[in-house]
Every structure is written in structure tokens, then in C-alpha cells.
Amino acid sequence: MFDLGSAQAAAFWGAIAAFLADALVTVVVTFVTTPKPVEQLQGLVYGMANVEEHQAAAERVWYRRPWLLGGGALALVVILNIAFI
């Protein structure tokens, strides 16, 4: 139907279309469904009000904090992208 130049270009356009469709479905489902109560999310989601009181002292160490793990993963991605350019 469309001449995209090469098979790789067609694959890229297909990936872009799939990403946009996924993003649209995610947003629609988010707005249509009702959120779960806080009681059902305890232990599954960071940032709940009373999660800290139920954590053991071994769980509250500095290297298990989400922002530190996320920052480390982001730094690793940047370093590897620079190294393999």
C-alpha cells in the first residue's frame, strides 16, 4: 500500500504506530476505570501513607530507596549510550 523505502523503515513506522496505539489505550483505560482503595495497594506501591511504619529496619537502608535505584539506572543508561556511540 505505502512505499516506505525499506523493510527497516517499515518496521520503524510500525513500532511508532504500535507505541501510539498503546499510549492511547493506556490513557483511555486510566480514565475509564476506578482507582483501587489505598488499603489494597499497601506493600505494592511506593508512597502510601503508612508504608513506613510497617517496614523493618533492614528494609529502610539507603541503597534500597527508589530514587537512588532509578537514578543509578538512568546514569548507567547514559554512560552506556555515550560508550557505544
Residues 83 and 64 in one domain: yes
Query: Quick one: cell of 26?
Result: 493506556
Q: What is the pLDDT of residue 65?
A: 82
User: Which pLDDT belongs to residue 64?
Assistant: 78
Same domain, 44 and 58: yes
d(CA 35, CA 74): 29
Give residue-wise pLDDT tens across range 24-81: 999 999 999 998 887 787 777 666 655 555 667 777 787 778 889 999 999 999 999 9
**Quick one: pLDDT at residue 55?**
64
Indicate if 82 and 50 belong to the same structural domain.
Answer: yes
Structural domain boundaries enclosing 9: 1-33
- Same domain, residue pair 48 and 80: yes
Q: pTM higher than 0.75, yes or no?
A: no
Q: Give Cα 12 to chain centroid, integer Å.
A: 21
